[in-house]
Amino acid sequence: MFGNTLYAEKIQYALEQASFPSTPDNLYDPIRYMLSLSGKRIRPLLVLLGADLFNINNINDALPASLAIEYFHNFSLIHDDIMDNAPLRRGQVVVHKKWNENIAILSGDALLVKAYEQLASAKAEYIPELLRIFNKLALEVCEGQQYDMDFERIDSVTEDQYIEMIRLKTSVLLGGALEMGAVIADAIPSDRTHICNFGVNLGIAFQLQDDILDIYGDPSTFGKQIGGDIIANKKTILYILLKPKLVEIDDIQEFEKLLTDKDVESDEKVRRMKNLYQKYHVVEEASRLKEKYTHLAYKSLEKIGVNESQKKELYSLADNLMRRTQ
C-alpha cells in the first residue's frame, strides 16, 4: 500500500473486521478473496487523506466512506475482469476463473450493495452529499467502461476520446474519493473542487502510466499479464499514438497483421508490437502526456487554501504513484 502507514493500517483493520455472512459461501467467499488480494488501497486511502487535509477532528468518521469506495472499486474490478476476459488480478487468478462468471457477477453485485451499506453508516448530516458524489462517480465509471468496450468495435479512437474515457473509467473515482473525505471534514466548496480536480488529473496520469507499464513493467511486481493490452488489441494510449504515425507500408502491414492474425503467438505479438512502439517513440510521447496531467494535478493542489505543509502527504503519494513499477 502507498502512503500514510497509520491510515493504511486503519483501512486494513477495518477490512479485516468487515462482517460478511458465512453462507452462501459461493456468494461471500469470492468477496473475501477479492478483498484479501494485496492491492494498493489507493482509493480508500484518498478518502482519509482528503479528510485529513482539512483537519477532520476524528479520522474514524471517514472510514465508512473509505470502505464504500474500496468495495465499489473491487465490485467494478470483478465485473471488468469478466468483460476483459482477464486471467490475473493483482498477480492472482481472477474471481470468474477461480469460480465462474455467474458467481463473479453476483458477488460483485453484493459488494456494491455492501458499499451502500457502508455509506449509510456515515454521520447522518453527511450522508446526502456523500450519496450524491458516490452516485455520480459510480455512474460515470459505468459510462467509462461502456466507452472502453465501444472502442473495441470502432477502427479509430482519438487521443481526446481516450482521455475522456479514462477520466470516467478511472479518474473520477480518485477525485470523488478525495472529495468525499473533504465533505466529511467540512471543507469549503472551492477547496472541494480543487481536491477533486487534483484526484481526477492524477487519475489520468495514473492510467497513462498503467498503459506504459503494461509492456514495460516488472512481471514480478506489476500484478497483471505483461503485454496483456497488446494481446487483447486494447486501444491504449500507446496504440492510439502509434496508429497515425505509421507511414511505411511495411510497418502498416505489420501493425494490421498483429491485430488480425490469430496464428501469431502472444509473446511474439508483444515483441513485434513493442518494436513498433520503440521505432515511432510513442512511449516517450505517452510519458510526456502523463507528465502534463501530473502537472495539472499539482496545480490544483496548489490552489487549496490550507498550509502547504498539510499537502505533503498528497504530494508524496502522487510522486510515488508516478514512479511505481506495479
Indicate the SS3 state at residue 28.
helix
CB atoms within 10 A of CB 52: 18
Q: Which pLDDT score is estimated for 1?
A: 46
CATH superfamily of the domain spanning 5-322 = Farnesyl Diphosphate Synthase (1.10.600.10)
Cell of 40: 494498493
User: Average pLDDT of the chain?
Assistant: 94
| Digit-coded pLDDT (tens) for 232-272 | 899 999 999 999 999 999 999 999 999 999 999 999 999 99
3-state secondary structure of 110: helix
Residue 249: strand, helix, or coil: helix
* Every domain of the chain and the residues it spans: 5-322
pTM of the model: 0.93
**Low-confidence stretches of the chain (pLDDT beneath 50):** 1
Alpha-carbon distance of 134 to 126, in angstroms, equals 12
Asked whether the beta carbons of 31 and 111 are under 8 A apart, the reply is yes
